[in-house]
Amino acid sequence: MNLSFFENSSVTGTIQGNRKFLEGALISELPEDVLREWWEKSGWNFQKLDKTITKLAEMKVKFLPPFSVSQLLDTNQSEDIEYLFYLGDLKLLRSPSISIVGTRSPTKEGVKRAIKITRQLVNLKYVVMSGLAKGIDKAAHQATIDNKGKTIAILGAPFHKIYPNENVPLFNRIIDAGGLCLTPAMPYQEHGTWLFPRRNKLMAILSQATIVIEAGATSGVKHQAAECLRKKRKLIFLKSLADKPEVTWVQGFIKSGGIVVEDSQSLESALI
């Protein structure tokens, strides 16, 4: 991620070469030519797309266009991420952040570990990032807010299709607590299993390290782990997970550079 993106609040550019705007334009300010381009890509009828954009505009959703995304992520058109949509404090991305991820069906011990580590990260002044999913993600977001920290939620789906629906109150709580919710999903990208691996890859790019609390043999966390190593971000596993012989993929990532921690002191050392 390119932190110099934030050094000048008047970063400007064009959409489709014909409109200048400040970083973080409201989606209600979309130029007609861009809206038409989205319509052509979506396969929807225009009325459906217009209704969806209107709903997002009522939520006061903002967006970053392709040139800003490339600057922020420090890439050339970051792979399959074209636009970013967000609500909340975008400048939280200036602060050092750590991703906490794991299974949607954690054990009670897994939830306790997630809460304990989240509390430690807040005390260390890190922003806590996660994916607004059930289980470990939810525990990390809630524990951050409960401990007066700041949290960033990276969603897989668009804001009008928050998944899972049961986490809509948590989504609102994150915004109300001064946090940030962000998604790379275009308004018409409502469904697809590929949305969540893309979400996890974006989390790896935006955070300084990823901590995997608890995961299964077929966990989607593997996408984030792989991106961490590819982008040279720290990848951290709890010893309680690394010791599980049935989760064989973890050992592969450890051999490739993943770090194992077993207590608060070793975690803090790993983050330095």
Q: At 152, which CATH number?
A: 3.40.50.450
Per-residue pLDDT band at 135 (split at 50, 70, 90): very high
Q: Does one domain contain both 209 and 260?
A: yes
Which of residues 39, 57, 88 is at a domain's end? 88
pLDDT over 90 (residue 12):
no
Q: Does one domain contain both 84 and 113?
A: no
135 in Cβ contact with 106 (< 8 Å): yes
Range of the domain at 112: 91-271
Q: What is the mean pLDDT of residues 153-177?
A: 97
Q: Does one domain contain both 70 and 95?
A: no
Q: Does one domain contain both 107 and 158?
A: yes
pLDDT over 70 (residue 106):
yes
Q: Does one domain contain both 96 and 226?
A: yes
Q: Does one domain contain both 112 and 185?
A: yes
99 in Cβ contact with 211 (< 8 Å): yes
Q: Does one domain contain both 112 and 69?
A: no
CA dist., res. 114 & res. 206, Å (int): 20
Q: Does one domain contain both 84 and 127?
A: no
pLDDT at 19: 37
Q: Does one domain contain both 244 and 186?
A: yes
Q: What is the mean pLDDT of residues 235-264?
A: 96
Q: Does one domain contain both 57 and 174?
A: no
Q: 3-state DSSP call for residue 167?
A: helix
Which of residues 52, 71, 88 is at a domain's end? 88
CA distances for 252 relative to 44, 209, 224, angstroms: 42, 18, 14
Q: Does one domain contain both 131 and 263?
A: yes
66 in Cβ contact with 77 (< 8 Å): yes
Structural domain tally of the chain?
A: 2
pTM: 0.90
Q: Does one domain contain both 50 and 109?
A: no
pLDDT at 24: 74
Q: Which residues pair with 235 in a beta bridge?
A: 210
